Structure 1
Amino acid sequence: MKISFLIHTIYGIGGTIRTTLNLAEELAGRHEVEIVSVFRHRDIALFDIDPRITVVPLIDTRPASPTNEKQHPLQLQAAEFFPRHEARYKEYSKLTDERVREHYAGDGAGADVVIGTRPGLSAYVAQFAPPGAVLIGQEHMTHNHHKAALRKEMYAHLDALDAYITVSEGDARVYREKMPLPATRVLAIPNSVPEPPVAPSDASGRTIVAAGRLAAEKQYHVLIDAFAEVVAQRPEWDLRIYGWGPEKEKLRTRIDRMGLYNSVRLMGPHSPIEPEWAKGAIAASTSRHESFGMTLVEAMRCGLPVVSTDCDYGPREIIADGEDGILVPVGDTGAVAAALLKLIDDEELRRKMGAAAVRNARRFDPATVARQYEELFEELRTSAAQRAEADAYAPVADCVVEPDGALTVTLLQPRPGAELACVRTDARTDEHRFPFDDSGRATVPADARFHEGVWECSVRLPGSGRRVRITARSLDQRGAMHAGRRTHDDGVRNLVPYPGKPAKHLLLRSWVRPVHAEAGDVKVTGGSITVSGELTGPAAGKADRAGGPPVLIVRRRGRGSVDLTYPGAWVGDSGFRFTFPAAAPAALQNAADEWWDLLVRYAPDAEPARLARVLDDVVEKGPVFAYPVTQLRKKRPYALLRIAARRLRGRAQQYVRVRITYANTNDLLVNVADVPVK
């Protein structure tokens, strides 16, 4: 079997590099293994690489190399296939897109298994790996570590993999709950740590050892503060911290300020680290977050009991509290000090826990971890075959909005036993399924309860459960033009199909408003803005005409929120009309570009209804419903620009523009923004 690891760089130092090498070396004894390093930034890797492993660098970024490609024309262009919200996006380019694609179409085409070692590289695996290969993504951070925008961007790529592997069961559980992937196995396999080349510590020393990147999330300041309590009682003990990172100078300053410079040492990076662990008697970790905890396992394999914060997710799955280490609350300096003193004052307990640590950490041996991977590879061969079948299926459908609001989706190529799967793009746990009949037709009933948002439509294949996105051919949206005539007990609803961009995948836009004010005509004249509209749904029957005229609320978003209110007039049975001056929000401007919501209070004691236009067939109002812009001379600069305004000394007049427009949710907004000075 040929196994290919795709990694950012194999030439540096770090947990992902180390664990990749540990696993690759163990697998190399039974399989053909390659490590594809997207970048090569130094001549020789910092970690030793087993000669049985083939290393394939794709882009040379070594400063002194004659083949340095930092200025390659494609390297200077933004990547198209690497996720835009990935932390390393700026380092990737059209050149990385091209090189990864070329490798797996050429020399790497024979790979039976391809493993991506970070989110962006898992996306590359999903898009470029050879047909028929088992596709695996590894999560070396955690679900919660990533921003919502990246999780949303990654969903389609993870959905295309055969398996997604986290390093802790806690994180796998979060993925399964918050990002369900019906055709992708989501499971936990821990990182591997080899048996150390040195004998375990005998726990007789007087040194506490910590190791890891000197970064804020490691909270070494908590460890230093705790050690200050320890050394006040046990001055013969010292603390050694191994690693490098941006917090080094802050930590050095803290050590000096606390007078600990004779007992706390910043040792710098060491490789191999095992001989340094073995010099210690106790290991310590005070991280506020750990996806796994490689250093904990390293210390345990070297015979050290570990005092660690009980942070998500790794430590509690590595340390048996009270048996091979002690877990303490995150950020609790006193608890860390107490746990250290407990082990310091009881050498027999240290020895007992250290021996247990050696025994318990054997489950992280590369041979044990590699067997879990190999068993998974075998299990996933069937999944890979089903995925290849799904990849060959490209469903195309027509969609009609019926007069009552129901949708009819008809596949041009019917698939027996398939279902129409509609998944909300910003909440993947929210899914509706509707069966296709033998003719390839599925009906979304008019009373189907879709939450507000964008929904992606796929064919869910029988057996594998794999979803294949539908390409829209013909969309008949006429039924949505009469959404305002339909009544629902829970408010107003509208479900409109539309083609996504650029691939024309079938999407649904759902609006659900318990209380709704539907915007109508907007007129901009002489510095005034007039908005007409109509209360719809249950709100229409709650309008309190006896309580006075309706009130328009113009509310600034964000910090410094403020309401401007304007009485309007009732028109007909449920209509309203308001007029307000464009100069009013402009006079309160406090940012270069700010937004104001429009809301209608239709009864004195009622929650105001957001003014929006959602009861028709136009999904994106902003580009279509365009209104004149009002430009005003700025009477006073807002606070952030007063200095800049004084600097102009009258040489250029500042202006502000006020425009009324629709957001991507089709809510009506007022935008106040500076006009650039020319």
Structure 2
Amino acid sequence: MKISFLIHTIYGIGGTIRTTLNLAEELVGRHEIEIVSIFKHRDDSAFDIDPRISLVPLFNNNKKSPGCELENPLHKEPAEAFPRNEARYKEYSKLIDQRVRDHYAASDADVVIGTRPGLVAYVSQFAPGGAVVIGQEHMTHNHHKKALREEMRPFLADLDAFVTVSEGDAAVWREHMPLEDTRILSIPNSVPQPTVAPSDLSGNLVVAAGRLSREKQYEILIKAFAKVAAKHPDWTLRMCGWGGEKDNLRRHILKYKLANQVQLMGPRSPIDPEWVKGAIAVSTSRHESFGMTLVEAMRNGLPVVSTDCNYGPREIITSGEDGLLVPVGKADAVARALLTLIEDEELRRRMGKAAIENSRRFDPGAVAQRYLDLFAELGAEDTTGRRGVRPGRRLRRRGRRLPHRHRRLARARRRLPHLPRAPARLLPHPLRRHRRRTRLPLQPRGHRRHPRGRRVRRGPLDLPRRTPRDRPPRPPLLPLRRPARLTESHRPDGRRRRSPPSRRPPPGPRAAPRAPLLGTARARGSGTHPPQRTRHDPRRPGVRPRRTLRRARARPPPPRRRHRRTRPPRHPRGHPRLPGHPPRRRARPPPERREGPVGRPPPLHLRPRAGTGGPTP
């Protein structure tokens, strides 16, 4: 049996990568395992991978590599098959959609597993025909936004099984999103046996591991450890991991003056040598879907202090037996739990032994067997070793699974075998979304419009379609604008009639001057009213009267201002200027023309001689 895992990247460090590799290495001894990595941002993986596992990177985003594909024009177009509300939507593109589609179109995998919401949508759409499709949830139901959960509903309905890592989260999914044909269950992550000896708990070191992000609430851990260091200054806290909160955590360390007691170690792989150096493991997360680091610490023999968040820690730790659970966000409670284990060495050793025994249930062999039982229940492999396809359940064509409503019709067809099967041309195209345009396979004739806007096949009992001939004729169009009333200057159709050319008298002797117009100096005081030029002028007959025109007196253009800056107005009565304005500067008279420089007396040889007007010799 061939099993294919679709993961965001296998070349990084994270809980999803570790649990995928743990499960793949356990299954590779009995089955063919393939890990399809969407991105490849480095040449080698941070973990040691079994050479029997086949790694298939689809997109090279390593900027240092000569084969980097970030400048591909198709990569700059947004993805169409990836959910838009997914957190990593901007990293995906139409090129990645095409790569995933082409890979699984030529794949012969029996089981395809998606490891995050966007990749679950990929395997729901592009998994090969007849394969068992499984989605994994490594976060929690409440961690995702409502818009993403609603967008993922049709993709989850097309799965065979949806697996969470905690039973509490699986119960929430079953309550808030019941899926008729998809089985929702929980299978925990697997953690292999450490390659080093368990810790002897004789040191004075507290260890925390995980991504340096806000959800881990490491600032609360630093605040709690400040109270521990005040009573036990010989104890040290080490935090292993990387993330965007590193600078913020440094400021908190300097704030509480813990530069010598709190150390940021950075990423560590493998992590087991760091666990065995410590005596206590601690976690202050706001929410944990599973708590991979908690199981790793317990397998190395460390008692764990963890917040009682949803949902993993309370299913992993038995408070008072192999660890202590404290309220979320309470630094005082974390400090008290740490002081309890630090000051009571016997309790610490007893909890360490119980942690080793209780963490055996997360061994990769036990977890892999639960997955194999699930594959068999879903029909991935029958007794003869061939893939089994349940009729009606796995109807596929060209790598595209039928939507949920088509599977309902398939089950109805099994109950009524006399109904005709749908021809191949009525099945949805693999590259077309089933929500846009689909056709129901049980209605053989005609077309009708679905209430949601989809075009589907018409049945024999549907009403006949209305043809264009049955529609009533449309009334003729009327002119948009017509004049309010027609005058002699308008044509019968409403258009404006052009005015005839003016008929001027032939030139003759010079006529007498006309009377002055109204408003001129000559017209003032005269007893006669000057003639006015109007639109009723006989020289322009047939023109609609508008307003009276008066001939204006020609005025000279205004003088050009010498200064661009406007001056404040003078007082109307000649008083001093208004308050707030500077006094007006009077223009200085031009200096007298002299032969020497202005303001200086001429030289002696140019001065006039006494009694003469000429210069001195």
TM surpasses 0.5: yes
Larger Rg: 2
Residue pair 1:172, 1:187 contacting (<8 A) in 2 also: yes
Would the alpha carbon gap of residues 359 and 395 (structure 1) be closer, same or farther in structure 2, given more than 3 Å must change? closer
Alignment of 1:177-576 (within 5 A): 177-381=175-379, 385-386=390-391, 388-391=393-396, 415=413, 417=415, 498-500=451-453
Alignment of 1:106-117 (within 5 A): 106=106, 109-117=107-115
| SS, match of residue 378 in structure 2 | helix
Q: TM-score, normalization: structure 2?
A: 0.65
Q: Deviations over 1:34-91 (max 9, x none)?
A: 1001111111111111101000111111113222211212211111111111111111
The yes-or-no answer on 1:30 pairing with 2:35 is no
Would the alpha carbon gap of residues 237 and 59 (structure 1) be closer, same or farther in structure 2, given more than 3 Å must change? same
Give the distance between the partners of 1:224 and 1:296, measured in 2 at CA. Answer: 19
Would the alpha carbon gap of residues 261 and 193 (structure 1) be closer, same or farther in structure 2, given more than 3 Å must change? same
Residue pair 1:414, 1:438 contacting (<8 A) in 2 also: no
Q: CA deviation at 1:338?
A: 0.9
Give the distance between the partners of 1:412 and 1:331, measured in 2 at CA. Answer: 51
State, as a whole percentage, how many aligned pairs show the same letter.
Answer: 63
Read off the aligned partner of 2:104 and give its amino acid letter: Y
Corresponding residue of 2:95: 95
Q: Deviations over 1:541-597 (max 9, x none)?
A: xxxxxxxxxxxxxxxxxxxxxxxxxxxxxxxxxxxxxxxxxxxxxxxxxxxxxxxxx
Residue pair 1:7, 1:117 contacting (<8 A) in 2 also: yes
Counterpart of 1:173 (choices 168, 171, 174) is 171
| SS, match of residue 413 in structure 2 | coil
Q: CA deviation at 1:110?
A: 1.3
| SS, match of residue 281 in structure 2 | strand
Q: CA deviation at 1:389?
A: 4.1
Residue pair 1:390, 1:468 contacting (<8 A) in 2 also: no
Corresponding residue of 2:15: 15
Counterpart of 1:124 (choices 122, 125, 129) is 122
Read off the aligned partner of 1:15 and give its amino acid letter: G
Q: Deviations over 1:385-433 (max 9, x none)?
A: 3565444797999xxxxxxxxxxxx989973659xxxxxxxxxxxxxxx
Give the distance between the partners of 1:413 and 1:303, measured in 2 at CA. Answer: 52
Mark the runs of 5 or more structure 2 residues left unpaired by the alignment: 381-387, 422-434, 459-617
| SS, match of residue 210 in structure 1 | strand
Q: Deviations over 1:76-124 (max 9, x none)?
A: 1111111111111111111111111111112xx2111110011111111
| SS, match of residue 83 in structure 2 | coil
Structure number with higher relative contact order (C-alpha < 8 Å, ≥ 6 residues apart): 2
Give the distance between the partners of 1:471 and 1:257, measured in 2 at CA. Answer: 75
| SS, match of residue 55 in structure 2 | strand
Q: TM-score, normalization: structure 1?
A: 0.60
Q: CA deviation at 1:475?
A: 5.3
Q: CA deviation at 1:352?
A: 0.6
Q: CA deviation at 1:230?
A: 1.1
Q: Deviations over 1:243-275 (max 9, x none)?
A: 111111111111111111111111111111111
Corresponding residue of 1:70: 70
Read off the aligned partner of 1:197 and give its amino acid letter: T
For the aligned residue pairs, the C-alpha RMSD in angstroms reads: 3.3
Give the distance between the partners of 1:68 and 1:341, measured in 2 at CA. Answer: 52
Read off the aligned partner of 1:385 and give its amino acid letter: R
| SS, match of residue 67 in structure 1 | coil
Give the distance between the partners of 1:373 and 1:282, measured in 2 at CA. Answer: 32
Residue pair 2:447, 2:456 contacting (<8 A) in 1 also: no
Give the distance between the partners of 1:471 and 1:318, measured in 2 at CA. Answer: 56
Corresponding residue of 1:638: none
Give the distance between the partners of 2:28 and 2:223, measured in 1 at CA. Answer: 45
Residue pair 2:82, 2:97 contacting (<8 A) in 1 also: yes
Read off the aligned partner of 1:326 and give its amino acid letter: L
Residue pair 2:158, 2:403 contacting (<8 A) in 1 also: no
Residue pair 1:472, 1:499 contacting (<8 A) in 2 also: no
Read off the aligned partner of 2:82 and give its amino acid letter: F
| SS, match of residue 223 in structure 1 | helix
Corresponding residue of 2:50: 50
Would the alpha carbon gap of residues 411 and 293 (structure 1) be closer, same or farther in structure 2, given more than 3 Å must change? closer
Residue pair 1:210, 1:241 contacting (<8 A) in 2 also: yes
Corresponding residue of 2:84: 84
Would the alpha carbon gap of residues 248 and 468 (structure 1) be closer, same or farther in structure 2, given more than 3 Å must change? farther
Q: CA deviation at 1:499?
A: 2.9
Residue pair 1:135, 1:384 contacting (<8 A) in 2 also: no
Would the alpha carbon gap of residues 26 and 233 (structure 1) be closer, same or farther in structure 2, given more than 3 Å must change? same
Residue pair 1:287, 1:311 contacting (<8 A) in 2 also: yes
Give the distance between the partners of 2:145 and 2:444, measured in 1 at CA. Answer: 29
| SS, match of residue 73 in structure 2 | coil
Mark the runs of 5 or more structure 1 residues left unpaired by the alignment: 398-409, 419-436, 441-455, 460-466, 477-496, 506-678
Read off the aligned partner of 1:117 and give its amino acid letter: T
Give the distance between the partners of 2:403 and 2:154, measured in 1 at CA. Answer: 16
Read off the aligned partner of 1:225 and give its amino acid letter: K
Read off the aligned partner of 2:219 and give its amino acid letter: H
Give the distance between the partners of 1:164 and 1:97, measured in 2 at CA. Answer: 22
Q: CA deviation at 1:130?
A: 0.8
Residue pair 1:286, 1:309 contacting (<8 A) in 2 also: yes
Give the distance between the partners of 1:195 and 1:352, measured in 2 at CA. Answer: 20
Would the alpha carbon gap of residues 209 and 413 (structure 1) be closer, same or farther in structure 2, given more than 3 Å must change? closer
Q: CA deviation at 1:501?
A: 5.6
Residue pair 2:392, 2:411 contacting (<8 A) in 1 also: no
| SS, match of residue 372 in structure 2 | helix
Would the alpha carbon gap of residues 412 and 118 (structure 1) be closer, same or farther in structure 2, given more than 3 Å must change? closer
Corresponding residue of 1:529: none
| SS, match of residue 58 in structure 2 | strand
Residue pair 1:162, 1:384 contacting (<8 A) in 2 also: no
Q: CA deviation at 1:471?
A: 12
Residue pair 2:448, 2:456 contacting (<8 A) in 1 also: no
Would the alpha carbon gap of residues 470 and 191 (structure 1) be closer, same or farther in structure 2, given more than 3 Å must change? farther
Would the alpha carbon gap of residues 412 and 218 (structure 1) be closer, same or farther in structure 2, given more than 3 Å must change? closer
Structure with the larger strand share:
1
Give the distance between the partners of 2:90 and 2:411, measured in 1 at CA. Answer: 41
| SS, match of residue 57 in structure 2 | strand
Read off the aligned partner of 2:390 and give its amino acid letter: A
Residue pair 2:447, 2:457 contacting (<8 A) in 1 also: no
